[in-house]
């Protein structure tokens, strides 16, 4: 039971929406505990749908998904979710937004406030605890959203293009910070993106997906050494991996 | 200081002077348009009369009781409609139909049903101020975004948590906009019902003075009613700025 905490098993999963749109056709993937996996593909390949299915936010039409050895029947509190937009509530300060999961879980808010301040300082938001979301830049808003995921220490984090709306520089900095946090805490992370470079830079494995119907075309191992830095992107191995993924997407077309 | 902040009050003074000159020159009968100085005399008469305060109190009580009862009932109905799909489908057409209907036509009926006293005026104030709040409550509650609901669902939030931590604060700016309109409407409702038949209230004073051809007193009461309307609106503005302080952020991103 503890051995497979954080492990995810997707077997034969398909999703057809009520309007007849076939979003996913028979997807099977096993994700190990503590693994960093990216889903990459063009719009409409079903990568976000697959993420929501794993998070229990959608039900599969056929097939099964198991998290920590248990069949997924709905959202779970040991799975944290982060979206492309920060989804911060404008009437709450940064600190209050970070404490939202604690309130929903019915845990002690005062005890968690210290922890929240610690996480906010770790992501570089010291001094902004009492600011409102509209007073923050897009990058800062996503840092606050990341803090809100981290506050409950979920062993699994699902990220749906979390940095997709940020500029290139901010995005690279966020990626480095995410890797640092992941290396310290060892969560299982599933990261949806349409950026091949981002996927190669972050991941242990990349699930390459394509459209019509949404499906997995290949799973690519990324054995680049860790810890990774901006230097990693200059290496020939990095370029080769990125090209390999690109080829799968090209061939599939 | 901007030109408008000087010119606006200045123009008001100019209008008063021109009005005074025209009236004194005898170009218009004082029975049609009394001079501003004459209206001022009327105000002095009203505020020194021992019977005036109770008329103000009467109309204000009708307005405020109607506003509070109607407002609370309207918000409750709006919440019920959003949470009970079937009820909304059945009830919403009625709400829209009543919204379109000019409710002043109901005033004589309410007087035959509820008598000459305060009750019929309160019912009229409720009837006229009710529907903007119902509709704004429904629209506000339904403006919750999909990602916000997904976030709450990913935390396994209960229905009541989703309502109080997400839907209610999301709807507040819209509900407040409805309440602001409806407070002014409640005052109109009370006055119109008083016009039809009443023993007390500012509407009664207007009809009585009209019959007695004391037009300057009619104008004086109109000034009092206008100031009361402004004060009520001002109070709502202050409350709105305090309670839904984040309102502007939703539009500026």
Does A132 lie at the interface with B, CB-CB under 8 angstroms?
Answer: yes
Each residue's pLDDT tens digit, B119-135? 899 999 999 999 999 99
pLDDT tens, A56-65? Answer: 898 888 888 9
pLDDT tens digits for B217-250? 999 999 999 999 999 999 999 998 888 888 754 4
What does the longest C-alpha to C-alpha distance in chain B come to?
77
Inform me whether the C-beta atom of residue A80 falls under 8 Å from chain B C-beta atoms.
yes
Cβ atoms of A199 and A38 closer than 8 Å:
yes
Chain A residues touching residue B249 (CB < 8 angstroms):
90, 132-134
Q: Do B151 and A79 touch (CB under 8 A)?
A: no
* Domain locations in chain B as residue ranges: 55-252
Report CA-CA distances (Å) from A164 to A47, A57, A140, A193, B67. Answer: 14, 21, 14, 7, 47
**CATH code of domain A1-78+155-253:** 3.40.50.300
Using the Cβ of B148 and the Cβ atoms of chain A, whether some distance falls under 8 Å is answered with yes
Respond yes or no on whether ipTM tops 0.95.
no
Instruction: Identify the bridge partners of residue A16 per DSSP, sorted by sequence position.
Output: A22
For domain B55-252, give the CATH number.
Answer: 1.10.3720.10
Q: To 10 degrees, the CA torsion angle through B84, B86, B92, B95? A: -70
Q: Are A242 and A220 in contact (CB under 8 A)?
A: no
Q: Give the per-residue pLDDT at A1.
A: 44
Q: How far is the C-alpha of A75 from the C-alpha of B150, rounded, in Å?
A: 10
Residues B45-93 have pLDDT tens digits of 889 888 888 999 999 999 999 999 999 999 999 999 998 888 888 988 8
Q: Which of A85, A104, A132 has its CB closest to that of B161?
A: A104
Domain boundaries, chain A: 1-78+155-253, 87-153
pLDDT tens string A137-155? 888 898 899 999 999 989 9
pLDDT at A14: 85
CA distances (Å), A121 to each of A87, A155, A185, A186, in order? 20, 21, 16, 19
**Residue-level pLDDT at B249:** 41
Cβ–Cβ gap B250/A90 under 8 Å: yes
Phi, psi (5° rounding) for residue A31? Answer: -115, 130
State residue A37 phi and psi, 5-degree precision: -120, 135
Q: Is the minimum CB–CB distance between B165 and chain A shorter than 8 Å?
A: yes
Q: How far apart are CA A244 and CA B163, in angstroms?
A: 47
């Amino acid at each position: 039971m503890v051995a497979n905490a954080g492990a995810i098993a997707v077997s034969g999963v398909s999703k057809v929406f009520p309007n007849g749109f076939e979003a996913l056709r028979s997807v099977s993937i096993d994700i190990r505990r503590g693994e960093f996996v990216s889903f990459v593909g063009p719009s409409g390949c079903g990568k976000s749908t697959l993420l929501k299915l794993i998070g229990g936010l959608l039900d599969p039409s056929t097939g099964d998904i198991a998290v920590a050895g248990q069949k997924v029947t709905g959202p779970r509190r040991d799975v944290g979710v982060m979206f492309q937009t920060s989804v911060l509530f404008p009437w709450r300060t940064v600190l209050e937004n970070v404490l939202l999961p604690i309130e929903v879980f019915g845990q002690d808010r005062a005890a968690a406030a210290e922890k929240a301040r610690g996480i906010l300082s770790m992501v570089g938001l010291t001094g902004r605890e009492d600011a409102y979301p509209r007073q923050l830049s897009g990058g800062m808003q996503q840092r606050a959203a990341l803090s809100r995921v981290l506050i409950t220490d979920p062993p699994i984090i699902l990220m749906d293009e979390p940095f997709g709306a940020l500029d290139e520089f901010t995005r690279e900095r966020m990626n480095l910070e995410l890797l640092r946090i992941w290396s310290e805490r060892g969560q299982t992370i599933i990261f949806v993106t349409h950026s091949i470079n981002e996927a190669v830079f972050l991941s242990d494995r990349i699930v390459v997906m394509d459209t019509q119907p949404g499906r997995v075309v290949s799973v690519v191992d990324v054995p680049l050494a860790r810890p990774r830095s901006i230097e990693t992107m200059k290496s020939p191995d990095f370029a080769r991996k990125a090209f390999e993924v690109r080829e799968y997407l090209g061939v599939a077309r | 200081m901007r030109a408008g902040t000087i010119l606006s009050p200045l123009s008001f003074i100019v209008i008063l002077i021109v009005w005074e000159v025209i009236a004194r020159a005898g170009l218009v009968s004082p029975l049609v348009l009394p001079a501003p100085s004459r209206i001022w005399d009327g105000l002095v008469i009203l505020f020194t009369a021992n019977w005036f305060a109770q008329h103000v109190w009467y109309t204000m009580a009708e307005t405020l009781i109607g506003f509070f009862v109607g407002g609370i009932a309207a918000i409750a109905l709006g919440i019920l409609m959003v949470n009970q799909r079937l009820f909304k489908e059945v009830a919403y057409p009625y709400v829209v139909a009543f919204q379109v209907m000019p409710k002043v036509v109901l005033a004589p009926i309410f007087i035959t049903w509820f008598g000459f006293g305060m009750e019929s005026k309160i019912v009229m104030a409720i009837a006229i101020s009710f529907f903007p709040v119902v509709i704004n409550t429904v629209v506000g509650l339904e403006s919750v975004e999909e990602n916000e609901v997904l976030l709450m669902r990913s935390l396994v939030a209960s229905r009541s948590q989703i309502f109080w931590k997400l839907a209610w604060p999301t709807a507040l700016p819209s509900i407040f906009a409805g309440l602001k309109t409806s407070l002014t409407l409640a005052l109109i409702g009370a006055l119109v019902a008083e016009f039809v038949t009443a023993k007390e209230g500012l509407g009664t004073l207007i009809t009585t003075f009209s019959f007695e051809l004391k037009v300057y007193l009619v104008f004086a009461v109109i000034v009092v009613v206008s100031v009361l309307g402004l004060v009520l609106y001002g109070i709502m503005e202050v409350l709105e700025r305090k309670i839904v302080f984040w309102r502007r952020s939703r539009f500026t991103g």
